Amino acid sequence: MNNVRVILLYVLLISCNNPSSDVLVTDILPTPLSATVNEGSFSHNSLIIDNGTKEILGNYIDWMKEWSIPLEWKEENGNVKVVIDQSIESGGYLLSVEKEGVLIRAKDRPTISNALGTLYQLIELNNGKIPLMEIADGAYYAYRGMHLDVARHMFSVAEIKKYLDFLALYKFNKFHWHLTEDQGWRIEIKKYPKLQSIAAYRDETLIGHYNDQPHQFDGKRYGGYYTQEEIKDIIHYADARGIEIIPEIDIPGHSLALLSAYPELGCETKEYKAATKWGVFSDVLCPKEETFKFLENVFSEIIELFPSEYIHIGGDECPKDQWKKSALCQTIMKRENLKDEMELQSYFIQRIEKFINSKGKRIIGWDEILEGGLAPNATVMSWRGVQGGIEAAKEGHDVIMTPTSHCYFDYYQSQNDGEPLAIGGYTPYQKVYEWSPIPEGLEPSYHKYVMGGQGNVWTEYMKTFDHVEYMALTRMITLSEVLWGKHSGSIDQFNDKLFLHTSHWEDQGVNIANHLLDVTTQLEVVADKGVKVDVSSAASDAQIYWKSPSAQNFQIKSDADIFLGESGEYKFYSQLKDKKGHEYELSFVPHKGNTAHIELKNEPSKTYSGNGSQSIINGVIGPDHRYGGSEWLGFSGDDLEATITFSKIKKLNYVELRFFKGEGQWIYLPSSVEVFSIDENGLEKKLGNTMTPTTDNKIAVTEIKFPSTHTKTLKVRAKNYGLIPEGRQGGGHDSWLFVDEIIIR
């Protein structure tokens, strides 16, 4: 069975031979805005395209034929009609099923695919009978995008088409295709053959995580590219599904692979080689006339290939080291009256934008293109949080929201042990569901500039397409619900539908992440009692089981509170009928901070706030291999300063802290750690020595020992490393400080 048929065989979705109309409508994702169900049904076996509809459908007919429904499509008067109706709001459609046939009314051709996707779900859900009904549906956001990076790891044409099938089924209308990077150039440019013979390949690839030291490599040449004929085929395939492909050629940074083929476009005279590991590199394009001519030729071929309105030009993470040293760059800055290298980047982007605009296209860039002055007609893709999007909207520019906090699907999606390797972070599907592309703090008058949102799939750690499926699909389905339109439904209602969809794809052999039976723990430090743990499951009907470190067997969780007391591993899982979720282990270390009160001078980042300030005194140890989740607190540019107060005076002689080191993700160990006691007059007394944490691994354990001290209040200070040095990943930016636990004895 081919991939298309696997994807579109929806008959097993509900696993029910005679579903009710209510179940039918409820279980479509994304959820239709409204539906009215009438008595009776229409048999699809007599479905025939109306003669006047053939021209409107165009190559959608090819798409329909690939769907494995036993239909006979004839070019004659029939009972399926499609009408373009300009009175319908943009992105909307009406689907009417009556005894005489099916009528689809849509605003435009791309919207037809949304209606067809709904129609075919209805057909499959009902084993060939379509309930008589009226569906009025439409998207809240005009831009509903998914991204895929093929430069770090490349995927076959068939796999790209499979990805597009998923997008179409869940009503995404934009595919952001990230085609070039430091590690490889993936698109054929006929004028520059060395992009295919040299830039498309790297000598080897990093093994394991970037934070693993020392770096190890596989020693295997890696690469490839898509021919222009393959790209035309994929574009046609996407167009038949109502999807616009937006290509990205990343400039002026992330261009090391390009420079390996055409080194004369760099600022330094040297040999360049495509990167074999991940990150940001100081080798960038030089803004010389030869570079602009080269890029104009490249973009001319790109524009000829892609019918999309937009061309994405990257513009992110462009180090300025070489520009600062380049006499040519300094001459250009003086000539163009540019005050710094930020404005030189803006000059670079605006030169390219002017050319692309002259070809009838518009540019999209990552939010760094705001630095130094935004190009006049640019659309901003806000990824470093939401502030870039807010600034761009206030300047009257269109914005696509895709913050790392909710839309980066290369982050971990579960706290379970055994999850496949990921870049870091923690973004479960529930976090995606709660997100809104309209950021807090953006005045209503600027909402019109927020076009929508996008999920990003960066593939540094995804070598195979089944890994992409695992990382992307569950969160993609969830994002479709967000972008199609927020409804009044609860997360529990969505969970019920999502459970059916993920179970279906599992049955079809798709490597989808099904975390609906994962347990979630919420920890609370209760004064003078200890650490209480609340355990829940996304599947509201699931039964939860648990066991303490000393117990031999699991027991069913009762209504009684669970308090952590024993040192060791607590285990939890949930079960729904015969499906058992993953066992979640919670490592507990009892210490005197477990019953204390904590206050932080500086709040952690909202993205890495764990279970709040109590996360670092609750005795629960975070994972060693990732810094996201409920136990690690992350501070961007700020120090950790924690005041810990006990209910009565305690005798203390030891404090231990755990820090994460991941310089590839801008995470640095603190420059110093100090502990103080505070007396009743508020006077501080330093305890033990000032420590400077060090480690060759990801976790630094810092111990501070001191003579026995009686105190009611402790203060712990860990000083942030500060600005990251130029030449390193994130050079010039604030470093992150991540702390897991303050163990007090």
Q: For the chain, what percent of residues have pLDDT higher than 90?
A: 70
Q: What topology does CATH give the domain 143-503? A: TIM Barrel (3.20.20)
> What is the CA 291 to chain-centroid distance, rounded?
32
DSSP string, 372-408: T---TTPEEEE-SSSHHHHHHHHTT--EEE--HHHHB
The pLDDT, as a whole number, for residue 11 is 29
pLDDT at residue 706 greater than cutoff 80: yes
For residues 704 and 722, give the distance between their C-alpha atoms in angstroms, rounded to a whole number.
22
Amino acid, single-letter form, for residue 596: A
Between 665 and 270, where is the model more confident? 270
Q: What is the pLDDT of residues 189-223, one digit of tens each?
A: 999 999 999 999 999 999 999 988 889 999 999 99
Q: What whole-number distance in Å separates Cα of residue 486 and Cα of residue 436?
A: 9
- What local confidence, expressed as pLDDT, does residue 463 receive? 98
Residue of 115, 143, 120, 116 lying closest to 130 (CA atoms): 120
Cβ neighbours of residue 304 closer than 8 Å, sequence gap 6 or more: none
* Mean pLDDT calculated for residue range 85-110: 86
Contacts 24+ apart (CB under 8 A), 369-376: 369/315, 369/345, 371/342, 371/345, 371/346, 372/338, 372/340, 372/341, 372/342, 372/343, 372/344, 372/345, 372/346, 372/347, 373/343, 373/346, 374/346, 375/346, 375/349, 375/350, 376/350
Q: Which residue has the tokens 């949102």?
A: 453
**pLDDT band for position 4 (cuts 50, 70, 90):** very low
Tens-digit pLDDT profile for residues 375-433: 889 999 999 999 999 999 999 999 999 999 999 999 999 988 889 999 988 999 999 99
Report residue 726's pLDDT band, with 50, 70 and 90 as the boundaries.
confident
Q: Lowest mean pLDDT of 40-49, 412-421, 425-434, 695-704, name the range.
A: 40-49
Buried b (16+ CB within 10 A) or exposed e, 608-624: bebbbbbbbbbbbbbbe
pLDDT band with cut points at 50, 70 and 90 for residue 47: low
SS3 478: helix
Mean pLDDT, rounded, for 37-62 = 70
Largest CA distance in the chain: 93
* Per-residue pLDDT reduced to its tens digit, 553-580: 999 999 899 999 999 999 999 999 888 9
Q: Give yes or no on whether 143-503 and 592-745 have one common fold.
A: no
CA 137 to chain centre: 26
**Residue 124 clears pLDDT 90, i.e. is over it:** no
Cα separations in angstroms, 294 against 265, 274, 341, 432, 479? 9, 19, 22, 40, 38
Rounded to whole angstroms, the Cα distance separating 256 from 267 reads: 12
CATH top-level class for 592-745? mainly beta
* Other C-beta atoms lying within 10 Å of the C-beta of residue 4: 18
Instruction: State the Cα–Cα distance between residues 648 and 595, nearest whole angstrom.
Output: 11
pLDDT in tens, 213-255: 889 999 999 999 999 999 999 999 999 888 999 999 999 999 9
If you search the block for the tokens 């019918």, which residue do you land on?
307
User: Among 54-68, 330-344, 374-388, 694-708, whose mean pLDDT is lowest?
Assistant: 54-68
Residue 461 has pLDDT above 70, yes or no: yes
Q: Tell me the CA end-to-end span of the chain in Å, nearest whole number.
A: 62
- 3 state SS of 496: helix
pLDDT digits (tens, 9 = 90+) for 268-318: 999 999 999 999 999 999 999 999 999 999 999 999 999 999 999 999 999
Q: Is the pLDDT of residue 326 over 70?
A: yes
Q: What is the DSSP string of 248-273?
A: EEEESSS-HHHHHH-GGGBSS-S---
Assign 45 a pLDDT band (cuts: 50, 70, 90): low
**Does the 3-138 domain belong in CATH 3.30.70.20?**
no
- pLDDT of 65 strictly over 80: no
Reported as a single tens digit per residue, the pLDDT across 442-456 is 999 999 999 999 999
- Burial of 352: CB neighbours in 10 Å, binned 0-12, 13-18, 19+: buried
How high is the pLDDT of residue 1? 28
pTM: 0.89
Least confident of 63-72, 548-557, 697-706: 63-72
Q: Which residue has the tokens 């696509």?
A: 400
Q: What is the mean pLDDT of residues 474-478?
A: 97
Q: Are the C-beta atoms of 457 and 468 separated by less than 8 Å?
A: yes
Contact 43, 69 (CB under 8 A): no
Q: Do the beta carbons of residue 276 and residue 205 sit within 8 Å?
A: yes
Measured at the CA of 473, the angle between CA 96 and CA 536, to 5 degrees, comes to 100
Sign, Cα dihedral of 314, 317, 320, 322: negative
Q: Which residues is 266 bridged to in the sheet? A: 285
35-49, 65-79, 103-117: segment of lowest average pLDDT: 65-79
Q: Locate tokens 């209510």: which residue?
A: 22
CA count, 13 A, side-chain hemisphere, 455: 30
What is the H or E stretch that residue 646 is in? strand 640-660
Peptide bond into 307 cis (omega under 30): no
User: How much is the mean pLDDT over the chain?
Assistant: 90
pLDDT in tens, 536-559: 998 888 999 999 999 999 999 998
Instruction: Count Cβ atoms within 10 A of the Cβ of residue 301 and give its class: 0-12 exposed, 13-18 middle, 19 or more buried.
Output: middle
- The answer to whether 243 and 164 are in contact (CB under 8 A) is yes
Q: Give yes or no for residue 119 having a pLDDT over 60.
A: yes
Which residue in the block uniquely carries the two structure tokens 């009692």?
529
Q: Of 31, 138, 29, which is closest to residue 94 (Cα–Cα)?
A: 138
Class of domain 517-588: mainly beta
Q: Give percent of the chain above pLDDT 70.
A: 91
Please, which residues bridge with residue 401 across strands?
382, 453
Domain ranges of the chain: 3-138, 143-503, 517-588, 592-745
Give the pair of three-digit tokens for residue 118: 């709904």
- Quick check: 62 pLDDT over 70? no
Judging by beta carbons within 10 Å of its beta carbon (0-12, 13-18, 19+), is residue 195 exposed, middle or buried? buried
C-alpha closest to that of 341 among 381, 373, 366, 387: 373
Return the higher-pLDDT residue of 618 and 507.
Answer: 618
